[in-house]
Amino acid sequence: MTMTLILHFFIIVPLVGFLLSLFISDKNERLISGTAFITLGTQFIAFSVFLLYYLFNNHPTLNLKDIVLYKSSGYEFFIDFCFDKITAVYMAVGTFLTFMVTIYSRAYLHREPGYKRFFNTILFFYFGYTITVFSGNLETLFVGWEILGISSFLLIAFYRDRYLPVKNALKVFSIYRIGDVGLILAMWMTHHLWHANITFLQLNNKELVHEHLQNHSLIGVFIALMILITAAAKSAQLPFSSWLPRAMEGPTPSSAIFYGSLSVHLGVFLLLRTHTFWAEQYSIRILIGVLGLATSLIASSIARVQSSIKSQVAYSSISQIGLIFIEIALGFENLALVHFAGNAFLRTYQLLVSPSVVTYLIREQFYNFEHRENTIEDSIPQKIKYSLYLLSLKEWYLETFIFRMWRPFKKTGRKMNFLTVKLLFKLFIPSYIIGLICLYYENSIPTVIHDYLPVLFAFIGLVLILKSYTERKSVKLGWVLIIMNHFWIALAISFNEHFKYTQSLLYLSGILVAGVFGFILLNNLKQKEPQVNLHRFQGYSFKYPTMSFIFLLCCLGLTGFPITPTFIGEDLIFSHIHENQIILAFFVATSLIIDGISAVRIYARIFLGPFIPSKNEVNFI
């Protein structure tokens, strides 16, 4: 039991370190990096001791049911931690690498503007990482997952006054968001499958899993698929792979641990964690194996043609992770863990020494130059060879694919170009009120119509959020649309099932607070800077750093980040969607994906990017 309680310690240390680091003056480099150093040093030593103790005590699987955050009949949202060999390996590798990189960055980032921001984000990331690897149920994992997503966004956009880092950060965030919603949908179905929130420990009970899946094999497939999508997005497997090289925009050490090693291996972690759940579903195992194989082949062909060092390491890492997927599919769990550790160490180090490649390889070339080295590809017929080369050079059109994926959403959104803030209020406020009235007299509505209402309202919500996603002119319109989207979703679900309005309130509380606050900020900004729009990145964080930070918090609140009850509310909302309402679930899930992207996009367009009046970067544009 004491061993179980100690788990708290490893969550609290990074949290305390992160919170403390927020309050240090950004001029005091020594104290900032010192805080990070002590936090990770403490964690590293304590965890090493714990690990030894754990190993000498027959390494039991530990589970700790922590605070229950919300409880109602048939629904319980609780935080749960567990510890087993998977956590042990991930924690050991993660803590070691983060600790090393913290020390590395102390000197490396010296005098860099954003020194504090860097260490804040690293600590925040590490905190999210710890929660994720210690998580004992999907809900807890989701908390960590969200933190990882947003801290990744902040790290990629570390050079926030330049165009490409911000653009790529947004791109990566969009893909992460797909993963997030995969996770929500997986949680949704597990609730229906078990009629309770289940811990990973319970999943280890094969009979239990088997018993539940026997009559609901389709649900089982669905959950496993969602988990696989989430894992593939996070681990840059097909078709998402092209985000990884583009994430290498931050300072080299952050790229090294996050995108070279820790972050990309979390998809693997998710698969290992849920292994017992899908292990009996052979179709899923085959799918994971095939996905891994396809990724490893394609990614290594892309890696072979890369002529920049970081993208080469990125694609090699992806191809190795593809192999890890195969190992997991084949059931070689331990091998996968060893492979993860080896790959993480190797790629981190390769990225850290990547600037040395010029000295080293130029010297190699100077002494060992051969006019053309023969490669394996020379044995392929010419026409196929050229085609393959060209395909690999173009990353097998993966980037185009991702770009195209958003196109239908953008098109729909642009169809709504006639909307203005005024029209929006005129059109949607009355109709929402009508909706509310309908809800009040719900019983008098014919069932045929009633059944369609949730889908209709969810659709209206979706259309609104698509408009927000493509809005280019009015910042306020973009923002209000996100808030409205949530209200329509709440209305839709209210029609779907009878439940206490307190649950809707729980869901909307965070939205409302964050939404109103954000609106006030935007209003304020608009008065000071009338020309602000969503046309391009405008970099106002340069001029209004505090406002930028508070607005970021508002965005997080609005997107259901685990700082407001909305986070639980989102999960709760889904528990009221029945397992056969695929269309409704699809609309709501898509809304959630897009609303996150849309809010962060508004933040990025206003506060990130080059601040033109100061001419931080013109770069001849």
Partner 1 sequence: MKNNISHFDEYEALHKLKHYLPAQASLKDFIHHNTLHGFQNLKFYKGIIYASELFGSNVSLSIEEYRKLYKSSRIKDDILEKVIEERLGAEYVNEWKEKVLNKEFNHVASARIGKLRHNWKEQYHINLDSLVHPILFRTLCSYLDQGISIWNFPVHNKGFLSSIREIERNSYTSFFKSKRVKELLNNHCQMSELLKILVGDESLYENYIFDQQFAHPGWSGIVSAIEDNPKTLLDARKITVHELVMLELLMEIDAMDTKFNENWSPLSYKLKKQPPYLFRDVEKTEYHEAITILQDAFEWSYYDEVLAGIKNQKQIKKTNSLKSFQAMFCIDDRECSMRRNLEHIDSTCETFGTPGFFNAEFYYQPEHGKFYDKLCPAPLNPKYLIKELESTEKRETEFHHSKRTHSLFTGWIITHTVGFWSAFKLFYNIFRPTMSPATASSFKHMDQFSQLTIENKSLEDTENNLQIGFTLTEMADRVEGLLRSIGLVDNFAKIIYAIGHGSSSVNNPHYAAYDCGACSGRPGSVNARVICHMANHPEVRKILSSRGLHIPDETQFIGGLHDTTRDDITFFDKKTLSDTNMDNHIRNKFVFKRALDLNSRERSRRFESINTKLSLEEIHNRTRRRSVSLFEPRPELNHATNALCIVGPRNLSDHLFLDRRSFLNSYNYKTDLEGKYLLNILKAVAPVCGGINLEYYFSRVDNEVFGAGTKLPHNVMGLFGVANGTDGDLRPGLPSQMIEVHDPVRLLVIVEHFPEVVLDTIKKDLATYEWFINEWIHLVVVHPDTHLFFLLKNGKFSEYKLLKQDSESVSDYLSLLSSDLENLPVTLIEEQI
Q: Which stretch binds partner 1 (CB under 8 A): 5-13, 104-112, 198-206, 486-494?
A: 104-112
Judged by CB, which is closer to partner 1: 332, or 519?
A: 332
Interface with partner 1, residue 19, by CB under 8 A: no
Interface with partner 1, residue 504, by CB under 8 A: no
The 10 Å Cβ neighbour count of residue 440 is 9
What's 61's DSSP letter?
P
CB-count burial class (<10 Å; 0-12, 13-18, 19+) for 459: middle
Least separation in angstroms between residue 188's CB and partner 1 is 36
Q: Which stretch binds partner 1 (CB under 8 A): 63-71, 276-284, 379-387, 599-607?
A: 379-387
Q: Which of residues 105-134 bind partner 1 (CB under 8 A)?
A: 105-112
Cis peptide before 565 (omega within 30 of 0): no
Which residues neighbour 96 within 8 Å (Cβ) at sequence distance 6 or greater? 44
Per-residue interface string for the shown chain with partner 1, residues 425-464, x marking contact by CB under 8 A: ----------------------------------------
Output phi, psi for 604, to 5 deg. -65, -45
For partner 1, the binding residue among 11, 184, 228, 313 (CB under 8 A) is 313
Judged by CB, which is closer to partner 1: 281, or 312?
A: 312
> What three-state secondary structure class fits 544?
coil
Interface with partner 1, residue 481, by CB under 8 A: no
Total interface residues for partner 1 by CB under 8 A: 103
Q: Which stretch binds partner 1 (CB under 8 A): 70-78, 145-153, 165-173, 279-287?
A: 165-173
Q: Is residue 217 a contact partner of residue 272, using CB atoms and an 8 Å limit?
A: no
- Rounded distance, CA 271 to CA 362, Å? 41
Judged by CB, which is closer to partner 1: 392, or 566?
A: 392
Judged by CB, which is closer to partner 1: 100, or 475?
A: 100
Distance of CA 483 to the CA centre of its chain: 21
CB-count burial class (<10 Å; 0-12, 13-18, 19+) for 70: middle
For partner 1, the binding residue among 16, 290, 333, 399 (CB under 8 A) is 399
Amino acid code (one letter) for 216? H
For partner 1, the binding residue among 61, 387, 417, 523 (CB under 8 A) is 387
Interface with partner 1, residue 67, by CB under 8 A: no
Q: Which stretch binds partner 1 (CB under 8 A): 219-227, 305-313, 489-497, 511-519?
A: 305-313
Interface with partner 1, residue 494, by CB under 8 A: no
Interface with partner 1, residue 263, by CB under 8 A: no
Judged by CB, which is closer to partner 1: 35, or 343?
A: 343
Least separation in angstroms between residue 239's CB and partner 1 is 18
- Rounded distance, CA 282 to CA 330, Å? 10
Interface with partner 1, residue 533, by CB under 8 A: no
Q: Which of residues 336-375 bind partner 1 (CB under 8 A)?
A: 338-339, 341-343, 345-346, 348-350, 352-369, 371-373, 375
Output phi, psi for 62, to 5 deg. -100, 145
> What three-state secondary structure class fits 82?
strand
Q: Which stretch binds partner 1 (CB under 8 A): 230-238, 376-384, 482-490, 576-584?
A: 376-384
Q: Which stretch binds partner 1 (CB under 8 A): 33-41, 42-50, 93-101, 599-607?
A: 93-101
For partner 1, the binding residue among 160, 246, 273, 275 (CB under 8 A) is 246
What's 39's DSSP letter?
H
Instruction: Report the length, in residues, of the chain.
Output: 621
- Rounded distance, CA 82 to CA 500, Å? 32
Query: Which two tokens mark 196?
Result: 């309770």
Judged by CB, which is closer to partner 1: 100, or 600?
A: 100
Residue 609, by phi and psi: left (phi above 0), alpha (psi -120 to 50) or beta?
left
Q: Which of residues 557-616 bind partner 1 (CB under 8 A)?
A: 613, 615-616
Judged by CB, which is closer to partner 1: 9, or 386?
A: 386
Interface with partner 1, residue 333, by CB under 8 A: no
Which residues neighbour 580 within 8 Å (Cβ) at sequence distance 6 or greater? none
For partner 1, the binding residue among 391, 416, 438, 445 (CB under 8 A) is 391
Q: Is residue 241 a contact partner of residue 285, using CB atoms and an 8 Å limit?
A: no
Q: Is residue 62 a contact partner of residue 41, using CB atoms and an 8 Å limit?
A: no
Interface with partner 1, residue 160, by CB under 8 A: no
Least separation in angstroms between residue 487's CB and partner 1 is 32
Least separation in angstroms between residue 247's CB and partner 1 is 9
- Rounded distance, CA 583 to CA 459, Å? 10
C-alpha atoms less than 13 angstroms from C-alpha of 492 in its C-beta half-sphere: 29
CB-count burial class (<10 Å; 0-12, 13-18, 19+) for 218: exposed
Judged by CB, which is closer to partner 1: 239, or 251?
A: 251
